[in-house]
């Protein structure tokens, strides 16, 4: 039987999140035995101190949510987050570069941020709601080339976006897993049935703000 707790990064990325809300998220993650939490960079230092002695991974985001900042800026964000205690970095890819078919720029961006991660895992958020299947596959190939550690579906911030889709996760897994990369599904994961389908399709992680609900079903 699948233990969802070992897949869940309990997530709070809304721009008006308060310290009290973040503390509640951290408490829930500890109480439910989740794999980790995913929070905005401004709360990484607080979370790391609050979780002292816990095995919970502290994950944060860079270039979030648009992915349109320069590679050097994303790299600085990643480096600062890691110095504050982040265990993993989730970076939003430059979607414009995908649309422009500027493949070299994407590889350079991922490599630049990967170097700044100082050995910590780097997940690349593709924002699949904005891409077709050919673009998703191509982005995954570039992540392999640039030696990212994960590909990830979504920020959850696209207006009217669906977020993680089973067919997208399956395509991502098929493309990257032969090369040792993993897949994180995120966005719109609100029930246990969908979570299990995503795992079956190849997701190694689930980014969700509904973690407590998922394990309580």
To the query of whether residue 115 is one of the catalytic residues in this protein, the response is: no
| Domain extent listing, the chain | 4-216
For residue 35, the 8-state DSSP code is S
To the query of whether residue 152 is one of the catalytic residues in this protein, the response is: yes
The rounded Cα 112 to chain-centroid distance in angstroms is: 18
Architecture label for domain 4-216: Alpha-Beta Barrel (3.20)
Six-digit token string for 196: 């299990």
CA dihedral 121, 87, 94, 184 (to 10 degrees): 70
Euclidean distance between CA atoms 155 and 163, whole angstroms: 8
Express each pLDDT in 99-143 by its tens digit: 999 999 999 999 999 999 999 999 999 999 999 999 999 999 999
Looking at the whole model, is its pTM more than 0.95?
A: yes
The one catalytic residue in 123, 152, 165, 182 is 152
**10 Å Cβ neighbour count for 91?**
28
* Residue 151: pLDDT over 90: yes
Six-digit token string for 72: 């050097």
The one catalytic residue in 57, 74, 123, 184 is 184
Q: For position 184, what pLDDT does the model report?
A: 98
Task: Identify any residues that bridge with 60 across adjacent strands, giving them in sequence order.
Answer: 39, 89
Six-digit token string for 63: 């270039």
Are the CB atoms for 127 and 97 separated by under 8 Å? no
Cα dihedral 215, 189, 68, 104 sign:
positive
Q: For position 216, what pLDDT does the model report?
A: 87
Express each pLDDT in 48-83 by its tens digit: 999 999 999 999 999 999 999 999 999 999 999 999
The one catalytic residue in 84, 90, 129, 168 is 90
To the query of whether residue 184 is one of the catalytic residues in this protein, the response is: yes
CA dihedral 198, 200, 201, 203 (to 10 degrees): 60
């Amino acid at each position: 039987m699948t233990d969802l707790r070992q897949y869940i990064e309990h997530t709070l990325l809304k721009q008006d999140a308060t310290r009290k809300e973040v503390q509640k998220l951290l408490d829930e993650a500890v109480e439910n035995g989740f794999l980790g939490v995913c929070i905005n960079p401004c709360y990484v230092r607080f979370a790391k101190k609050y979780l002292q002695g816990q095995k919970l991974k502290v994950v944060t985001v860079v270039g979030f949510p648009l992915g349109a900042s320069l590679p050097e800026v994303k790299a600085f964000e990643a480096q600062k987050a890691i110095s504050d205690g982040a265990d993993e970095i989730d970076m939003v890819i430059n979607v414009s570069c995908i649309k422009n078919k500027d493949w070299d720029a994407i590889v350079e961006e991922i490599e630049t941020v990967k170097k700044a991660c100082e050995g910590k895992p780097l997940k690349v958020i593709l924002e699949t709601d904005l891409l077709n299947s050919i673009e998703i596959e191509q982005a995954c190939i570039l992540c392999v080339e640039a030696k990212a550690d994960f590909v990830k579906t979504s920020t959850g911030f696209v207006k009217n976006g669906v977020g993680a889709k089973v067919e997208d996760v399956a395509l991502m897994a098929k493309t990257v897993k032969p090369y040792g990369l993993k897949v994180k599904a995120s966005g719109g994961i609100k029930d246990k049935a969908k979570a299990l389908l995503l795992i079956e399709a190849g997701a190694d992680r689930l980014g969700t703000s509904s973690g407590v609900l998922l394990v309580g079903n």
